[in-house]
Structure 1
């Protein structure tokens, strides 16, 4: 019946994509078709090479005007559509059959094309019956979710947009949970079996989306897939292990053992990589109430992902998912359950991914994902902008009391716990300072460490004064370096860090007054003597303007504590007149 259509589908150009339908397909669609015919077409036996052909054929039938629309009272019409959608979900599932332990030879363009075809077919099927009455099989929904991230190699921008739109419309119009058919997976386990202790009235999610996430996604699909690779720090029920066993010396993931065993133990990393996308979607569509009731379903999967160090793309994605998860967690939940320490131990080692063991570009990406996650855990606000101008605040006279009051209010409002303060100490001393001293020859990493310290100083407020004995020498080393002008952005980051220190830790700044004068003076002279810097960004004018502004803030601080800064800079200006523009504010005061 469909021989001509299937033949025409095989001849479709690989560059053809829906929603455009090649005319040769529409002409090959038989007349007077029923849904039973479409169901038979979708169920035809095929191998991987015929999947695209079948999808094009089904899509052409649904796009044509030759499909007979006959509604019945016994539900056979709706059942037929649901069975067709199940077949489509199976065909569009992006299984990476070529992924192996040592390399991935999967041909991704056909997976992307099949996914886009399947999404358009499902959109047409949903439109055939009234809103809310169609129940898509869980397996089909999982296949749709697999295409929601456009950065996946089997996905695309238009496919991700269509998948998210389809899911949004479906769950918005979905029937109440009690009217939903069971998922086509093996025995559904209750949430209590997953280790969550709840009242009976809390075992049933309020919405179909919540039911789908907790039962079909987390319990039935993801939990068995991640079971064999769960880290020893957490139990199967999602709670911290009381006596975690040390990992085997030559265990999986260390380059030993049979590669086939590793693939079987971690299908989410090899053949079914889309499981990470499904978990990512589940976290993004979870609210605080749902996490409060079902957090043990999330933690083993998330810790398993964070425990995986390779490939770098997976590590970056795991840290991004963790940030989404942490922001949605009810306040204090992970601390009360003991999981905050477990997550800290899982995230912190990433900040030590430094050259030469880790390439500089890869290290920069990993650090850029790990530090924001640690900032979230330490309750330090992470701002995406690092080049904004510091506020013009003049510290002196009555303004000193105002600044003190602001600092006290800021300290109370931040409310750092003892655990968070210990984490902040660890971030600065074992993270940023260790990383700086280990990789200071990598100028872009130095720039990054300056940006992270600036964020910490701004976020911690007066608490950051304890780190001045480490920060000031670091700033001095960067700005005084005669070769520092070869990378102006790092100089600017160091100057901004110094400005943040002056404005936040001003009560202790007079103790470092001479050192700061020396830093700004030598940096100014280095910039003046380097003619090549004027052609780079930031320009010489911008760097000098920021240094002048730094001296203005320092002058205001010394005036407030009745220190005569003019006496200190006057001999310097007399010896080198080009410093006069740097210390203009000192002479004026």
Structure 2
């Protein structure tokens, strides 16, 4: 029997993985031939016998590629009764993860292909556990998944097993959320939610209990034992629509908070991605009525402290980018109407907090890290656009940041950051224009634009074909034109203001100023 051969080979040692792959590949034609004979009634098996064979074969194939490890069968695991430290636990996880990936990487694609062949024509429902492994492969390649086409195969298998939207939603609610994910994420209590996933009216101060580390295979089986969990959770959020989330949101909460606050930066990054997608689908009314905004804020804000040099800049950029996205998305869900009691809207209060506790302190701490500054400027631009004219409250904080970035001598060496800073300046001119004319902002903006133009032109002379610098110069002119329009609203002529700055062509700084503001005097700006 085919299943006997597979069972024997999948029990073989890891060093025979290439042989396992060869056998699975060789068995694919046999599966197709057997399936054809079975459908025609020529294999001598009854319908029940054929169905049993399909189920057993599917289980063997799924077991061969299921990324679940066993802490009882590895010499690197601690002895019973001994609890490893979190550092030891992470080391054990790394070893087991490596062994697991090596064990089934070679057979992933052929096993999925075999599962697809079994499901394609024979209408047999397989064990839901098999579908959980299949779902895990629908995530994009990465981690333990290597082949892009595996995601398409997995999606096809799921469509064969769950062909209707009703079946998929039932599988998502009953199997994925309640039977699979809830037990995995229920080992650690979150003080802001109850055991049922709802907001806790009286948050508890939880501590590590019973001598079990927070980061262990006993408290976080989804992290150390079952590597399908994060991918399956990501899929659950991806396929759930607004109505489904409105009905089942408590079942998502433990996983959302656990992943977004995990000590592993990679898992935290995935958790923030998933959380942002979840928030975008969460009905505004339910989010507000259930008081969950504060719960999500408390989970995300600590990530904004992952700054250089304690956190490498490359990791900090990824984490803060996602954390700000989650918080800004959450703020967008709040009421825009001012409260009768305070005259301030909930959305404005949320955006205020992101600026005061996020953008401004992060910039003050890490202003020398230009890649991170780019992220901060991007988020600052989004917040200014959302706040509109109310952003004038923070001009004394926003404009100095932008002008410091724009006028930095080495800014042209990081054109991506400089470009974003100029975009944010345009957003400030658009939304905060009533407060720009006059002292001090108009003169400070003019000075920063001229300095930036000079720095870019000097750099451009040495690299005349660089498209980045050409675009930066275009943006500088665009910002200058925007400033001209803003000053006109106050009856101020930019041409008159800058005339003393361009009167002496023999002065190098005035020559550069003349280049930037040449549009005011009906002359095209010089190219270099």
TM over 0.5: yes
Partner SS state of residue 422, structure 2 = helix
Paired residues of 1:226 and 1:304 also in contact (CA < 8 A): yes
The 5-angstrom pairing of residues 341-352 of structure 1 reads: 341-352=294-305
Who is 2:451 aligned against? 522
User: What do the CA deviations read for 1:509-539 (whole angstroms, capped 9, x no partner)?
Assistant: 2142222222222323333445666368555
Once residues 151 and 102 of structure 2 are traced to their aligned partners in structure 1, the CA distance between those partners, rounded to angstroms, is: 15
For 1:160-559, list aligned pairs within 5 A.
Answer: 160-172=151-163, 207-248=166-207, 251=208, 262-310=216-264, 312-379=265-332, 418-511=345-438, 512-530=441-459, 534=463, 537=466, 539-559=468-488
- Does 151-160 or 45-54 show the bigger shift? 45-54
Matching of residue 101 in structure 1 with residue 101 in structure 2:
no
Alpha-carbon distance, 1:91 to partner: 2.7
Q: How does 1:21-40 map to 2 (within 5 A)?
A: 37-40=1-4
Kindly indicate whether residue 495 of structure 2 is the aligned counterpart of residue 566 of structure 1: yes
Cα deviations by residue, 1:540-586 (Å, 9 ceiling, x for unpaired): 44333322222222122222321233332121112444122322344
* Partner in structure 1 of residue 29 of structure 2: 63
Greater shift after overlay, 337-346 or 445-454?
445-454
- How far apart in 2 are the matches of 1:233 and 1:480? 44
Shift of residue 59, structure 1, vs aligned partner: 5.5
RMSD (Å), alpha carbons: 3.1
Deviations 1:106-140 (A, max 9, x none): 231432233323211111111342xxx32111111
Match of 1:83 among 33, 56, 59: 56
Match of 2:124 in 1: 134
TM-score by length of 1: 0.74
| More helix per residue | 2
Deviations 1:262-310 (CA, angstroms, capped at 9, x unpaired):
1222111112121111111111121222222211111112111112131
- Identify which range, 324-333 or 455-464, moves more after superposition: 455-464
1:92 maps onto 2:92 in alignment: no
Q: Is 2:144 the partner of 1:153? A: yes
Q: Could you tell me how far apart the structure 1 residues matched to 2:469 and 2:290 are?
A: 53
CA distance in structure 1 between the aligned counterparts of 2:102 and 2:453, rounded to whole angstroms: 55
Is 1:120–2:79 an aligned residue pair? no
Cα distance in 1 for residues equivalent to 2:466 and 2:301:
33
SS of residue matched to 2:368: coil
Are the equivalent residues in 2 in contact too, given 1:489–1:537 (CA < 8 A)?
no
Task: Give ranges in structure 2 of 5+ residues lacking alignment.
Answer: 77-87, 338-342, 524-528
Distance change in 2, residues 1:224/1:543 (3 Å): closer
2-side partners of 1:495 and 1:346: how far apart?
Answer: 32
Contact 1:303–1:343 (CA under 8 A) maintained in structure 2: yes
Within 1, Cα distance between the matches of 2:467 and 2:356? 30
From the superposition, tell whether residues 74 and 483 of structure 1 become closer, same or farther in structure 2 (CA, over 3 Å): closer
The answer to whether the aligner puts 1:580 opposite 2:514 as a matched pair is yes
Tell me how far apart the structure 2 counterparts of residues 417 and 325 of structure 1 sit (CA, whole Å).
27
CA deviation string 1:351-397 (max 9, x = no partner): 2211011001110111121111112111189xxxxxxxxxxxxxxxx
Task: Flag the 1:536–1:455 CA change in 2: closer, same or farther, 3 A.
Answer: farther
In structure 1, runs of 5+ residues without a counterpart are 1-36, 175-205, 382-410
* Structure-2 separation of matches of 1:466 and 1:507: 12
Show the counterpart of 1:388: none
Cα distance in 2 for partners of 1:119, 1:334 equals 39
Q: After alignment, is 56-65 or 347-356 more displaced?
A: 56-65
Q: Is the 8 A contact 1:480 1:522 kept in 2?
A: yes
Between 1:372-381 and 1:427-436, the stretch displaced more is 372-381
Give the 3-state SS of the residue equivalent to 1:561 in structure 2: coil
| CA–CA distance in structure 2, aligned partners of residues 168 and 278 of structure 1 | 16
Structure 1 distance, partners of 2:351, 2:12, is 52
Aligned-pair CA distance for 1:464: 2.3
Decide whether aligned partners of structure 1 residues 495 and 324 sit closer, same or farther in structure 2, where only a CA change above 3 A counts. closer
Q: TM-score, normalised by structure 2?
A: 0.82
Provide the secondary structure at the position in 1 that maps to 2:483: helix
How far residue 73 of structure 1 moved from its aligned partner, in angstroms, is: 6.8
Are the equivalent residues in 1 in contact too, given 2:69–2:225 (CA < 8 A)? yes
CA distance in structure 2 between the partners assigned to 1:535 and 1:366 by the alignment: 36
